[in-house]
Structure 1
Amino acid sequence: MKYITLIILSSLSFVLTGCKEETKSVDWWINHPKETVDKYKECKKTGSDSDNCKNVKRAGLIIADTYPPMSEIYKQEARDLRKKLGI
């Protein structure tokens, strides 16, 4: 019985450890702008502050000048903020 419990606990720890998302660097996100936009939207939706979300936010600021979909997201966020503040 001890062995079965040990095997189950070991298996469970491997499964849970394997579920963690791989953290990608800011450079990786800069070089993958479509994925950056998708992840940025996901991070905004979930409110996550994971390492990947932090890196995506940094990369988003950099690519916004040259990647129109990211630029449009920031423009929309600025419009929404101005509307919220009554400006």
Structure 2
Amino acid sequence: MKKAMVVCGVLGFVLLSGCSDEVKTRAWYMDHPKELAEVFAKCKASGDDTPNCRNAIEAQFRVKQANAPVPTFGPDTSEMDKAQVFKSYDMTGENGRFTYSFPDSLKGKTIQEIKDGNYTLSDDEKSNLRHFCEMLDSPLTQISRDTGRSQKKSLDYACKQFKF
């Protein structure tokens, strides 16, 4: 009787341990995208809640998060990047009305081109541009015909791309 119980116990252990899949970690699934896609699809279709399914779902989420675009909490920077803001502006500031005109080497360029470093400025032009960007920070500086302050926001964003 003891032998029969031992044999049944060993057979039960072999059957139980041999029928289960090896549990893969989230990191393993992230390193093996092909297997991740297969397991994720099977789990999503069947609705299983096994450890492998949970790890595959978590790995899929982390992969999506790793490749997600960085959120912006200000104005839509993609539209601003395409804007051509480097031109002449009639403005009002602490010292009254004035006109600021960007250097000719910047006129017609987009902010994205400035981000990519596609410009050259003399030391004098850099100094004038830095002074202009500092004046923009003042709440007293207003741009003529800038309803909603969208031009000022675009110029603020453009000034940040120069990284003075």
Give the TM-score, by structure 1 length: 0.62
The 2-side partners of 1:63 and 1:7 are apart by 46
Whether the 8 Å contact between 1:33 and 1:63 is mirrored in structure 2 is no
- Runs of 4+ in structure 1 off by over 4 angstroms are none
Higher relative strand content: 2
Whether the 8 Å contact between 1:29 and 1:35 is mirrored in structure 2 is yes
Paired amino acid for 2:63: I
- Cross-structure match for 2:45: 45
- Cross-structure match for 1:79: none
CA RMSD of aligned residues (A): 2.0
Greater relative contact order: 1 or 2 (C-alpha under 8 angstroms, separation 6 or more)? 1
The 1-side partners of 2:51 and 2:2 are apart by 38
Alpha-carbon distance, 1:40 to partner: 0.5
- Cross-structure match for 2:18: 18
The 1-side partners of 2:55 and 2:12 are apart by 30
Paired amino acid for 2:33: P
Instruction: Answer with 7-16 or 43-52: which moved more.
Output: 7-16
The 2-side partners of 1:14 and 1:37 are apart by 30
The 2-side partners of 1:26 and 1:9 are apart by 33
The 2-side partners of 1:54 and 1:8 are apart by 33
Over residues 1-36 of structure 1, what are the superposed CA-to-partner deviations in whole Å (9 max), with x where a residue is unaligned?
552353134212221122222111111000000100
Over residues 39-62 of structure 1, what are the superposed CA-to-partner deviations in whole Å (9 max), with x where a residue is unaligned?
001111221111111111111123
Paired amino acid for 2:24: K
Identity of aligned residues (%): 30
Unaligned runs of at least 5 residues, structure 2 = 69-164
| Number of residue pairs matched by the alignment | 66
- Cross-structure match for 1:63: 63
